[in-house]
Amino acid sequence: MTVDSTVEPAGGAAASEPELVQLLTPEGERVPDDHYDALIDDIGPPEIRGLYRDLVLARRIDSEAVALQRQGELGLWASLLGQEAAQVGSGRALRPHDHVFPTYREHGVAWCRGVDPARLLGLFRGVDQGGWDPRSTNFHLYTIVIGAQTLHATGYAMGVQRDGAVGTGDPNRDTAVIAYFGDGATSQGDVNEAFIWASVNNTPVVFFCQNNQWAISEPLERQTRVPLYRRAHGFGFPGLRVDGNDVLACLAVTREALQRARDGEGPTLIEAFTYRMGAHTTTDDPTRYRLGSELEHWRLKDPIERVKAYIVRGELADQEFFDEVEAEAEQLAEHLRTACRELPDPGPESIFDHVYVDPPAPLLAQRDEMTAYLDSFANEEARR
Amino acid sequence: MTTFNIVKAINAGLRRAMDGDPKVLIMGEDVGKLGGVFRVTDGLQKDFGEDRVIDTPLAESGIIGTAVGLALRGYRPVCEIQFDGFVFPGYDQIVSQVAKMHYRSAGRLRLPIVIRIPYGGGIGAVEHHSESPEGYFVHTPGLKVVTCADPVDAYWMIQQAIESDDPVMFFEPKRRYYEKAEVDTDGSPTLPLHAARVVREGTDATVAAYGPMVKTCLEAATAAADEGRSLEVIDLRTLAPLDLGPVIESVRRTGRLVVVHEAQRTLGVGAEVAARVTEECFYELEAPVMRVTGYDTPYPASRVEDDYLPDLDRVLDGVDRTLAH
């Protein structure tokens, strides 16, 4: 067997890690950067406070949904705990007309896109399969088949090109598309095909990989022998690794990649190096496959604490601000609890709705058959 | 009137659809400069440009998956899968994404995608080039599945499929690609997309077929007539939804039905036709519904494909068996 001795380790807590873009240390110290500082030079104290608020609210949406699952109100939830900065940083880099293709864990991006978080719950409660309108939010439905959405994003970006909405220099016209996926998805054929399509067509798409180190129970080294961001090189476009727990760095690198896309300079792969602090989903038990010490290592890199430390150190906000955000988070949680319980169960005949734009007669006949069957019980009841 | 074979008829239909709607795109392997391995898209890239007739990388999941994105952006992609047996790398995108997007989005998102697939055997090809995978897609809610059997239907049905706001699997009988007929390109289609059609009237037994087997069954009906047997032949044309009205009406008169297709028998279209005709015509049936089909084997090597494929004699044998009851 021949092994390329130049291959770097894939990453993970124990491996020696390649350079990553970091603008805010885990201790909340701002790291000056000759290149990336210019990309966030508009981020003053109000904007920092805004990002902090987004991070806290994203986490609160998530913790409330986990609680709702524990209470039996949701069948399942996929927690974003630990990935708030990757999602908020990239989500806040988007312009309104940019288009997002998420996995099923992008609750923080949904928040940034103005999707009512209560609408995210329907899928997990089992009352719908995507309760928001992707046309008005430019936030596509959650995609559960791993990696499939990266091709949709790339195709959408091909449509953007054909609409002449790339490289015109008009910020209200030029459009980028972003595809979210995880470390596990990089093994999927669809993701690799999306890289190829995006590369040869030079499409305005950003591939945003949240490398949270775990694909359910499988660590990164089961997916790759090279750092994921370096895959891009082989496909012919730039790739970079960013501290996924650093909201400023995620904002900066995503802004740059989106602008490259809008300018017609093609795709970028961003590997946001982060960690899934929770279980894969509420049905998963990570104690079966990973060590608590790893969790402790990453807890020190918490994406929210470092922003709070930065704000406090720089006196960018007073205690009243933090109290207000906490109060707002409580209100949001209450909204989620109420809205979740009020989500109506669909009626049985609704299973026939929207199978087709133009439903064929045999399908309508099956619906009538169901109606007659259900009515037969009602008639029986009436006879008693 | 213009004389077209099926290749030219689909080409003309595609051209007309592209002329009529700038959102119609063609994408697939070798569809551009080469005009497709069967030349179905010949000349279209020259006239409509590389942005509308797209030579894609060689990956079927990529073709379908990017078509989904293009459709979400408002385009109407017509994807070519080069050969029947190559659809399976794109199967997940078709079944899990294309077929379900309208449903999952509660009707908010539409995917007006056409997936063209040359299908069926009888051309002496190597493996994976002669299959009849239509049953997999008929079994998938959210897809519509049609197949043409002659140039007139080829010309109109491809245009109707492109106009459909639901995704359509469009199966093309490749062994009949070079059958010719007169096509009135100035007229309008005489049938909606999802309608079966009686192609030969008869009184003794009904034979239902689609795609490449329609011609085989018409030849069988001619041969049967020489022996004094009158067969009614129906071209099903649409497999999802099935339009069984003409079949049921026919079976009520003849009392006998033979269903013919190249695809393997078990859980094939013939099984569904048999079940539904039995439900509707139980008392009119004089004999069990017969199926004359490919066998439940992988598609065989080409030197023995004639033994696998239903032909005139096997159709007549099926007719004999139903008449013997």
| Helical packing angle, B245-254 and B269-281, nearest 10° | 60
Note the pLDDT of residue B290: 98
Among B183, B208, B230, residue at a domain's last position: B183
Tell me the CATH class for A37-342.
alpha beta
Note the pLDDT of residue A381: 77
Find the CB nearest A197 among B62, B71, B108. B62
Place B322 in a pLDDT band, splitting at 50, 70 and 90: very high
Place A325 in a pLDDT band, splitting at 50, 70 and 90: very high
Among A380, A377, A353, CA closest to A364: A353
Q: Please indicate whether, in this complex, the C-beta atoms of A159 and B89 are within 8 angstroms of each other.
A: no
Note the pLDDT of residue A9: 52
Give me the catalytic one of B102, B128, B129, B194.
Answer: B129
**Residue type at position B65:** G
User: Do B202 and B178 have their domain in common?
Assistant: no
User: Do B166 and B205 have their domain in common?
Assistant: no
pLDDT at B185 over 80: yes
Note the pLDDT of residue A384: 72
Domain ranges of chain A: 37-342, 351-383
User: Do B135 and B227 have their domain in common?
Assistant: no
Place A5 in a pLDDT band, splitting at 50, 70 and 90: very low
Contact of B75 with chain A, judged by CB distance below 8 Å, is answered with yes
Note the pLDDT of residue A16: 55
Place A177 in a pLDDT band, splitting at 50, 70 and 90: very high
d(CA B13, CA A212): 49
d(CA A195, CA A1): 28
Contact of A360 with chain B, judged by CB distance below 8 Å, is answered with yes
Q: Please indicate whether, in this complex, the C-beta atoms of A152 and B97 are within 8 angstroms of each other.
A: yes
Q: Report, as an integer, the average pLDDT of A125-134.
A: 96
pLDDT at A7 over 80: no
If one compares A84 and A384, the residue with the highest pLDDT of the two is A84
How close are the terminal C-alpha atoms of chain A, in Å?
79
pLDDT at A13 over 60: no
pLDDT digits (tens, 9 = 90+) for B127-176: 999 999 999 999 999 999 999 999 999 999 999 999 999 999 999 999 99
What residues form DSSP beta bridges with A146?
none
User: Do B35 and B78 have their domain in common?
Assistant: yes
Q: Please indicate whether, in this complex, the C-beta atoms of A152 and B110 are within 8 angstroms of each other.
A: no
User: Do B250 and B152 have their domain in common?
Assistant: no
pLDDT digits (tens, 9 = 90+) for B70-110: 999 999 999 999 999 999 999 999 999 999 999 999 999 99
User: Do B105 and B140 have their domain in common?
Assistant: yes
User: Do B237 and B154 have their domain in common?
Assistant: no
Strands B290-294 and B144-147: unpaired
Residue B188 lies in a domain: no
Residue B311 lies in a domain: yes
Note the pLDDT of residue A383: 77
- Among A100, A196, A354, the residue to mutate for chain B (most B Cβ within 10 A): A354
Note the pLDDT of residue A10: 54
Q: Scanning the structure block, which residue is given the tokens 């608590």? A: A292
User: Do B37 and B160 have their domain in common?
Assistant: yes
Q: Report, as an integer, the average pLDDT of A226-238.
A: 97
Note the pLDDT of residue A19: 87
Q: Please indicate whether, in this complex, the C-beta atoms of A354 and B66 are within 8 angstroms of each other.
A: no
pLDDT digits (tens, 9 = 90+) for B281-301: 999 999 999 999 999 999 999
Q: What is the mean pLDDT of chain A?
A: 95
pLDDT at A378 over 90: no
Among B183, B207, B235, residue at a domain's last position: B183
Q: Report, as an integer, the average pLDDT of A328-356.
A: 97
- Among A140, A141, A158, A188, the residue to mutate for chain B (most B Cβ within 10 A): A158
Residue B27 lies in a domain: yes
Among B131, B157, B183, residue at a domain's last position: B183
Note the pLDDT of residue A382: 77
Q: Report, as an integer, the average pLDDT of A119-126.
A: 97
Note the pLDDT of residue A380: 80
Q: Please indicate whether, in this complex, the C-beta atoms of A151 and B241 are within 8 angstroms of each other.
A: no
Q: What is the mean pLDDT of chain B?
A: 98
User: Are residues B134 and B270 in contact, defined by beta-carbon separation less than 8 angstroms?
Assistant: no
Strands A99-101 and A205-211: unpaired
Mark whether B129 is an active-site residue.
yes
d(CA A149, CA B69): 9
User: Do B302 and B215 have their domain in common?
Assistant: yes
Query: A155 to chain B nearest CA, in Å?
Result: 4
Q: How many CA atoms lie within 13 A of B152 on its CB side?
A: 15
Q: Domain total for chain B?
A: 2
User: Do B294 and B318 have their domain in common?
Assistant: yes
Tokens of A82: 């630990």
B chain contacts of residue A189, beta-carbon cutoff 8 Å: 59, 61, 89
How many other CB atoms are there within 10 angstroms of residue A116's CB atom? Answer: 15
User: Do B175 and B208 have their domain in common?
Assistant: no
Contact of A131 with chain B, judged by CB distance below 8 Å, is answered with yes
Contact of B66 with chain A, judged by CB distance below 8 Å, is answered with yes
CATH (domain of B117)? 3.40.50.970
- Percent of residues in chain A assigned helix, strand, coil, to nearest 5: 50, 10, 40
Residue B155 lies in a domain: yes
pLDDT at A17 over 70: no
CATH (domain of B226)? 3.40.50.920
* Domain, as residue range, for B119: 2-183
Contact of A137 with chain B, judged by CB distance below 8 Å, is answered with no
B chain contacts of residue A358, beta-carbon cutoff 8 Å: 164-166
| Cβ-proximal residues to A316 (8 Å cutoff; 6+ apart), any chain | A45, A48, A49, A310
User: Are residues A212 and A82 in contact, defined by beta-carbon separation less than 8 angstroms?
Assistant: yes
User: Are residues A157 and A118 in contact, defined by beta-carbon separation less than 8 angstroms?
Assistant: no
Q: Is the ipTM reported for this complex over the cut 0.85?
A: yes
HEC letters along chain B: CEEEEHHHHHHHHHHHHHHHCCCEEEEECCCCCCCCCCCCCCCHHHHHCCCCEEECCCCHHHHHHHHHHHHHCCCEEEEECCCHHHCHHHHHHHHHHHCCHHHHCCCCCCCCCEEEEEECCCCCCCCCCCCCCHHHHHCCCCCEEEECCCHHHHHHHHHHHHHCCCCEEEEEEHHHCCCEEEECCCCCCCCCCCCCEEEECCCCEEEEECCHHHHHHHHHHHHHHHCCCCEEEEECCEEECECCHHHHHHHHHHCCEEEEEEEECCCCHHHHHHHHHHHHHCCCCCCCCEEEEECCCCCCCHHHHHHHCCCHHHHHHHHHHHHCC
User: Are residues A95 and A171 in contact, defined by beta-carbon separation less than 8 angstroms?
Assistant: yes
User: Do B253 and B283 have their domain in common?
Assistant: yes
Q: Report, as an integer, the average pLDDT of A341-350.
A: 95
User: Are residues B146 and B212 in contact, defined by beta-carbon separation less than 8 angstroms?
Assistant: no
Mark whether A276 is an active-site residue.
yes
Residue B190 lies in a domain: no
